Structure 1
Amino acid sequence: MCANHNLSSMKTTLLVVGRTVEPHFITAINDYVQRTKRYLTFEMEVIPELKNTKSFSMEVQKEKEGELICKAFQPGDVIVLLDEGGKEMRSIEFADYMKRKMNTVNKRLVFVIGGPYGFSQKVYQAAHEKMSLSKMTFSHQMVRLIFVEQLYRAMNILSGGPYHHE
Protein backbone atom coordinates (compact mmCIF):
# COMPACT_ATOMS: atom_id res chain seq x y z
CA MET A 1 0.00 0.00 0.00
CA CYS A 2 1.17 3.53 -0.75
CA ALA A 3 2.27 5.72 2.11
CA ASN A 4 -0.44 8.01 3.37
CA HIS A 5 0.77 11.53 2.61
CA ASN A 6 -1.09 13.37 5.33
CA LEU A 7 -0.48 17.08 4.98
CA SER A 8 -1.18 17.68 8.67
CA SER A 9 -2.25 16.00 11.88
CA MET A 10 -5.65 17.65 11.62
CA LYS A 11 -8.61 15.30 11.53
CA THR A 12 -11.55 16.28 9.35
CA THR A 13 -15.05 15.10 10.17
CA LEU A 14 -18.33 15.49 8.33
CA LEU A 15 -21.06 15.32 10.94
CA VAL A 16 -24.52 14.54 9.57
CA VAL A 17 -27.96 13.97 11.08
CA GLY A 18 -29.49 10.69 9.96
CA ARG A 19 -27.97 8.02 7.80
CA THR A 20 -27.78 8.23 4.03
CA VAL A 21 -30.56 6.02 2.70
CA GLU A 22 -30.46 6.09 -1.09
CA PRO A 23 -28.12 3.36 -2.41
CA HIS A 24 -26.68 5.44 -5.28
CA PHE A 25 -25.77 8.22 -2.85
CA ILE A 26 -24.22 5.74 -0.39
CA THR A 27 -22.02 4.30 -3.14
CA ALA A 28 -20.89 7.70 -4.44
CA ILE A 29 -20.33 9.19 -0.96
CA ASN A 30 -18.29 6.16 0.17
CA ASP A 31 -16.20 6.39 -2.99
CA TYR A 32 -15.27 10.05 -2.33
CA VAL A 33 -14.70 9.39 1.38
CA GLN A 34 -12.20 6.62 0.49
CA ARG A 35 -10.47 8.80 -2.13
CA THR A 36 -10.23 11.71 0.30
CA LYS A 37 -8.59 9.49 2.94
CA ARG A 38 -5.55 9.25 0.66
CA TYR A 39 -4.87 12.90 1.49
CA LEU A 40 -6.46 13.56 4.83
CA THR A 41 -7.63 11.88 8.02
CA PHE A 42 -11.33 12.04 7.23
CA GLU A 43 -14.50 10.41 8.52
CA MET A 44 -18.22 10.86 8.21
CA GLU A 45 -19.96 10.66 11.57
CA VAL A 46 -23.71 10.01 11.63
CA ILE A 47 -25.96 11.21 14.43
CA PRO A 48 -28.97 8.87 14.51
CA GLU A 49 -32.13 10.67 13.44
CA LEU A 50 -34.79 11.33 16.03
CA LYS A 51 -37.57 8.79 16.37
CA ASN A 52 -41.30 9.67 16.32
CA THR A 53 -40.79 13.24 15.16
CA LYS A 54 -44.40 13.57 13.94
CA SER A 55 -45.45 14.83 17.35
CA PHE A 56 -42.66 17.47 17.40
CA SER A 57 -42.94 20.99 16.11
CA MET A 58 -40.20 22.14 13.76
CA GLU A 59 -38.58 24.08 16.62
CA VAL A 60 -38.63 21.12 19.02
CA GLN A 61 -37.09 18.86 16.39
CA LYS A 62 -34.38 21.46 15.70
CA GLU A 63 -33.65 21.79 19.44
CA LYS A 64 -33.42 18.04 20.00
CA GLU A 65 -31.18 17.55 16.96
CA GLY A 66 -29.11 20.51 18.16
CA GLU A 67 -28.50 18.82 21.51
CA LEU A 68 -27.29 15.66 19.73
CA ILE A 69 -25.07 17.67 17.39
CA CYS A 70 -23.50 19.58 20.30
CA LYS A 71 -22.87 16.30 22.17
CA ALA A 72 -20.81 15.10 19.20
CA PHE A 73 -18.43 18.08 19.48
CA GLN A 74 -15.11 17.61 21.24
CA PRO A 75 -12.96 20.21 23.03
CA GLY A 76 -10.74 21.98 20.52
CA ASP A 77 -12.98 21.29 17.51
CA VAL A 78 -13.21 23.98 14.86
CA ILE A 79 -16.86 23.84 13.80
CA VAL A 80 -18.07 24.84 10.35
CA LEU A 81 -21.79 24.71 9.59
CA LEU A 82 -22.89 24.00 6.05
CA ASP A 83 -25.58 26.64 6.01
CA GLU A 84 -27.32 28.62 3.30
CA GLY A 85 -26.35 31.84 5.10
CA GLY A 86 -22.66 30.93 5.01
CA LYS A 87 -19.76 32.10 2.86
CA GLU A 88 -19.65 30.76 -0.68
CA MET A 89 -16.33 29.75 -2.23
CA ARG A 90 -15.11 28.57 -5.58
CA SER A 91 -13.39 25.15 -5.50
CA ILE A 92 -9.94 26.71 -5.73
CA GLU A 93 -10.79 29.01 -2.79
CA PHE A 94 -12.01 26.02 -0.79
CA ALA A 95 -8.67 24.30 -1.49
CA ASP A 96 -6.84 27.38 -0.11
CA TYR A 97 -9.21 27.38 2.87
CA MET A 98 -8.37 23.72 3.59
CA LYS A 99 -4.65 24.46 3.28
CA ARG A 100 -4.96 27.26 5.86
CA LYS A 101 -6.95 25.01 8.18
CA MET A 102 -4.36 22.22 7.93
CA ASN A 103 -1.77 24.73 9.15
CA THR A 104 -3.86 26.12 12.01
CA VAL A 105 -6.26 23.46 13.33
CA ASN A 106 -4.66 21.16 15.88
CA LYS A 107 -7.52 18.76 16.56
CA ARG A 108 -10.63 18.33 14.41
CA LEU A 109 -12.13 20.42 11.67
CA VAL A 110 -15.81 19.49 11.83
CA PHE A 111 -18.21 20.29 9.01
CA VAL A 112 -21.85 19.90 10.02
CA ILE A 113 -24.93 19.18 7.89
CA GLY A 114 -28.06 19.68 9.97
CA GLY A 115 -31.45 18.06 9.86
CA PRO A 116 -34.35 19.01 7.60
CA TYR A 117 -35.12 22.27 9.45
CA GLY A 118 -31.58 23.54 9.84
CA PHE A 119 -29.70 24.31 13.05
CA SER A 120 -30.79 25.32 16.54
CA GLN A 121 -29.44 28.49 18.18
CA LYS A 122 -27.16 26.35 20.38
CA VAL A 123 -25.46 24.91 17.31
CA TYR A 124 -25.08 28.37 15.73
CA GLN A 125 -23.52 29.59 18.98
CA ALA A 126 -21.06 26.67 19.07
CA ALA A 127 -19.98 27.21 15.45
CA HIS A 128 -16.88 29.10 14.38
CA GLU A 129 -17.87 29.58 10.75
CA LYS A 130 -20.64 29.02 8.24
CA MET A 131 -20.12 27.90 4.67
CA SER A 132 -22.61 27.61 1.83
CA LEU A 133 -22.17 25.11 -0.99
CA SER A 134 -24.66 26.93 -3.21
CA LYS A 135 -27.50 29.42 -3.22
CA MET A 136 -29.67 26.53 -4.41
CA THR A 137 -31.37 24.11 -2.04
CA PHE A 138 -30.34 20.43 -2.22
CA SER A 139 -31.63 17.37 -0.42
CA HIS A 140 -29.56 16.39 2.63
CA GLN A 141 -28.42 13.27 0.79
CA MET A 142 -27.23 15.39 -2.13
CA VAL A 143 -25.44 17.92 0.10
CA ARG A 144 -23.37 15.08 1.59
CA LEU A 145 -22.28 13.96 -1.85
CA ILE A 146 -21.52 17.50 -3.07
CA PHE A 147 -19.49 18.23 0.08
CA VAL A 148 -17.35 15.06 -0.03
CA GLU A 149 -16.73 15.59 -3.75
CA GLN A 150 -15.61 19.18 -3.12
CA LEU A 151 -13.40 18.10 -0.22
CA TYR A 152 -11.78 15.49 -2.45
CA ARG A 153 -11.40 18.07 -5.23
CA ALA A 154 -9.76 20.53 -2.80
CA MET A 155 -7.26 17.91 -1.60
CA ASN A 156 -6.53 16.92 -5.20
CA ILE A 157 -5.90 20.57 -6.13
CA LEU A 158 -3.53 20.95 -3.16
CA SER A 159 -1.55 17.89 -4.17
CA GLY A 160 -1.15 19.17 -7.72
CA GLY A 161 -3.59 16.64 -9.15
CA PRO A 162 -5.35 16.98 -12.51
CA TYR A 163 -8.74 17.66 -10.96
CA HIS A 164 -9.15 21.39 -11.53
CA HIS A 165 -9.30 23.46 -14.68
CA GLU A 166 -8.96 27.21 -14.29
Structure 2
Amino acid sequence: MKCVLILVGKTTDRYLVDGVTKYLERINHYLNFEPLIISELKNAKSLTFEQQKEQEGIAILKILSPSDDVILLDEKGQSYTSEEFASWMEKKMVESTKRLVFVIGGPYGFSSKVYERATQKLSLSKMTFSHQMIRLLFVEQMYRAMTILKGEPYHHI
Protein backbone atom coordinates (compact mmCIF):
# COMPACT_ATOMS: atom_id res chain seq x y z
CA MET A 1 0.00 0.00 0.00
CA LYS A 2 1.16 3.48 -0.79
CA CYS A 3 0.30 6.35 1.56
CA VAL A 4 0.19 9.91 0.36
CA LEU A 5 -0.14 13.06 2.45
CA ILE A 6 -1.46 16.01 0.45
CA LEU A 7 -0.57 19.38 1.95
CA VAL A 8 -1.80 22.79 0.85
CA GLY A 9 1.19 25.14 0.88
CA LYS A 10 4.67 24.67 2.26
CA THR A 11 5.40 24.31 5.94
CA THR A 12 6.99 27.62 6.89
CA ASP A 13 8.21 27.44 10.49
CA ARG A 14 11.66 25.85 10.69
CA TYR A 15 10.89 23.77 13.80
CA LEU A 16 7.85 22.27 12.05
CA VAL A 17 9.82 21.58 8.85
CA ASP A 18 12.51 19.82 10.90
CA GLY A 19 9.99 17.76 12.84
CA VAL A 20 7.98 16.75 9.78
CA THR A 21 11.17 15.79 7.92
CA LYS A 22 12.35 13.69 10.86
CA TYR A 23 9.12 11.71 11.06
CA LEU A 24 8.77 11.29 7.29
CA GLU A 25 12.21 9.67 7.22
CA ARG A 26 11.22 7.36 10.08
CA ILE A 27 7.86 6.42 8.54
CA ASN A 28 9.49 5.40 5.27
CA HIS A 29 11.29 2.56 7.10
CA TYR A 30 7.85 0.96 7.53
CA LEU A 31 5.64 2.26 4.79
CA ASN A 32 5.77 3.80 1.33
CA PHE A 33 4.74 7.30 2.44
CA GLU A 34 4.96 10.37 0.21
CA PRO A 35 4.07 13.99 0.94
CA LEU A 36 2.65 15.98 -2.00
CA ILE A 37 2.61 19.74 -1.63
CA ILE A 38 0.09 21.85 -3.51
CA SER A 39 1.38 25.36 -4.11
CA GLU A 40 -0.28 28.14 -2.19
CA LEU A 41 -2.61 30.32 -4.22
CA LYS A 42 -0.82 33.32 -5.68
CA ASN A 43 -3.79 35.67 -5.44
CA ALA A 44 -5.12 34.43 -2.08
CA LYS A 45 -5.48 37.89 -0.52
CA SER A 46 -7.85 38.96 -3.26
CA LEU A 47 -10.08 35.89 -2.79
CA THR A 48 -12.77 35.16 -0.23
CA PHE A 49 -12.26 32.19 2.09
CA GLU A 50 -14.80 30.22 0.02
CA GLN A 51 -13.00 31.02 -3.22
CA GLN A 52 -9.71 29.92 -1.68
CA LYS A 53 -11.25 26.61 -0.57
CA GLU A 54 -12.71 26.06 -4.04
CA GLN A 55 -9.41 26.70 -5.83
CA GLU A 56 -7.45 24.56 -3.37
CA GLY A 57 -10.12 21.88 -3.81
CA ILE A 58 -9.63 21.84 -7.57
CA ALA A 59 -5.89 21.31 -7.05
CA ILE A 60 -6.51 18.52 -4.50
CA LEU A 61 -8.99 16.70 -6.75
CA LYS A 62 -6.53 16.79 -9.69
CA ILE A 63 -4.06 14.70 -7.69
CA LEU A 64 -6.57 12.00 -6.76
CA SER A 65 -7.19 8.79 -8.67
CA PRO A 66 -10.67 7.22 -8.79
CA SER A 67 -9.53 4.24 -6.69
CA ASP A 68 -7.91 6.34 -3.93
CA ASP A 69 -9.15 5.97 -0.37
CA VAL A 70 -9.26 9.64 0.67
CA ILE A 71 -9.09 10.62 4.34
CA LEU A 72 -9.49 14.28 5.29
CA LEU A 73 -7.89 15.56 8.46
CA ASP A 74 -10.85 17.51 9.76
CA GLU A 75 -11.92 18.74 13.18
CA LYS A 76 -15.30 17.03 12.74
CA GLY A 77 -13.77 13.68 11.88
CA GLN A 78 -13.49 10.40 13.76
CA SER A 79 -11.08 10.47 16.70
CA TYR A 80 -8.90 7.52 17.67
CA THR A 81 -6.40 6.74 20.38
CA SER A 82 -2.93 5.98 19.04
CA GLU A 83 -3.59 2.26 19.42
CA GLU A 84 -6.96 2.52 17.65
CA PHE A 85 -5.36 4.48 14.81
CA ALA A 86 -2.66 1.79 14.50
CA SER A 87 -5.40 -0.85 14.26
CA TRP A 88 -7.23 1.23 11.67
CA MET A 89 -4.03 1.49 9.61
CA GLU A 90 -3.47 -2.25 9.90
CA LYS A 91 -6.98 -2.88 8.52
CA LYS A 92 -6.26 -0.58 5.58
CA MET A 93 -3.06 -2.52 4.86
CA VAL A 94 -4.84 -5.89 5.12
CA GLU A 95 -7.67 -4.68 2.87
CA SER A 96 -5.06 -4.20 0.16
CA THR A 97 -5.91 -0.55 -0.21
CA LYS A 98 -3.82 0.47 -3.21
CA ARG A 99 -3.37 4.14 -2.31
CA LEU A 100 -4.40 5.71 0.98
CA VAL A 101 -4.46 9.48 0.70
CA PHE A 102 -4.57 11.77 3.72
CA VAL A 103 -5.30 15.44 3.07
CA ILE A 104 -4.50 18.43 5.26
CA GLY A 105 -6.26 21.43 3.77
CA GLY A 106 -5.45 25.09 3.92
CA PRO A 107 -6.32 27.43 6.78
CA TYR A 108 -10.02 27.57 5.85
CA GLY A 109 -10.66 23.86 5.39
CA PHE A 110 -12.00 22.01 2.36
CA SER A 111 -14.39 22.74 -0.49
CA SER A 112 -17.68 20.86 -0.64
CA LYS A 113 -16.38 18.84 -3.61
CA VAL A 114 -13.40 17.61 -1.60
CA TYR A 115 -15.74 16.62 1.25
CA GLU A 116 -17.90 14.72 -1.27
CA ARG A 117 -14.86 12.84 -2.61
CA ALA A 118 -13.60 11.83 0.83
CA THR A 119 -14.07 8.32 2.16
CA GLN A 120 -13.63 9.38 5.78
CA LYS A 121 -12.70 12.29 8.03
CA LEU A 122 -10.11 11.94 10.77
CA SER A 123 -9.66 14.27 13.75
CA LEU A 124 -6.45 14.35 15.75
CA SER A 125 -7.97 16.28 18.64
CA LYS A 126 -11.03 18.15 19.81
CA MET A 127 -8.72 21.15 20.09
CA THR A 128 -8.02 23.39 17.12
CA PHE A 129 -4.50 23.53 15.70
CA SER A 130 -3.07 25.44 12.77
CA HIS A 131 -2.98 23.54 9.48
CA GLN A 132 0.82 23.77 9.70
CA MET A 133 1.00 22.30 13.23
CA ILE A 134 -1.31 19.41 12.28
CA ARG A 135 1.30 18.27 9.75
CA LEU A 136 3.78 17.51 12.52
CA LEU A 137 1.16 15.97 14.81
CA PHE A 138 -0.12 13.71 12.04
CA VAL A 139 3.25 12.39 10.85
CA GLU A 140 4.26 11.73 14.46
CA GLN A 141 1.05 9.73 14.98
CA MET A 142 1.62 7.83 11.74
CA TYR A 143 5.11 6.91 12.92
CA ARG A 144 3.72 5.94 16.33
CA ALA A 145 1.12 3.71 14.65
CA MET A 146 3.84 1.91 12.69
CA THR A 147 5.88 1.28 15.86
CA ILE A 148 2.77 -0.01 17.65
CA LEU A 149 2.10 -2.44 14.81
CA LYS A 150 5.72 -3.65 14.91
CA GLY A 151 5.71 -3.94 18.73
CA GLU A 152 8.57 -1.48 19.02
CA PRO A 153 9.20 0.58 22.16
CA TYR A 154 8.71 4.11 20.73
CA HIS A 155 5.01 4.25 21.50
CA HIS A 156 5.67 3.78 25.22
CA ILE A 157 7.58 7.07 25.47
Q: TM-score, normalised by structure 2?
A: 0.97
- What corresponds to 1:96 in structure 2? 87
What is the root-mean-square deviation of aligned Cα atoms in Å? 1.2
CA distance in 2, matches of 1:105, 1:121: 28
Q: Which amino acid aligns with 2:130?
A: S
Aligned AA (1:122) = K
Amino acid at match of 2:47: F
Matched to 1:75, the amino acid is P
Question: Given the alignment, which residue of 98, 111, 125 partners 1:120?
Answer: 111
- Partner residue of 2:100? 109
> How much does 1:21 deviate?
1.0
Q: 5+ unaligned residues in a row in structure 2: which ranges?
A: none
Which whole-Å CA distance do the structure 2 matches of 1:103 and 1:37 have between them? 18
- Residue deviations 1:93-131, cap 9 Å, x none? 000000000011432100000011100000000000000
Identity within the alignment, %: 56
8 A Cα contact 1:66 1:123, kept in partner: yes
Q: Structure 1 residues 40, 61: CA separation in 2 closer, same or farther (over 3 Å shift)?
A: same
> Which of 143, 148, 151 in structure 2 is aligned with 1:157?
148
User: Once superposed, which parts of structure 1, at least 4 consecutive aligned residues long, lie more than 4 Å away?
Assistant: none
**Equivalent-residue separation in structure 2 for 1:31 and 1:164 (angstroms):** 16
Instruction: Kindly indicate whether the alpha-carbon contact (under 8 Å) linking 1:78 and 1:105 is maintained by their aligned counterparts in 2.
Output: no
Q: Distance in 2 between matches of 1:100 and 1:150?
A: 16
d(CA) in 2 for partners of 1:74, 1:116: 24
- 1-structure distance, mates of 2:130, 2:2: 26
Aligned positions of 1:14-25 closer than 5 A: 14-25=5-16
CA distance in 2, matches of 1:128, 1:46: 21
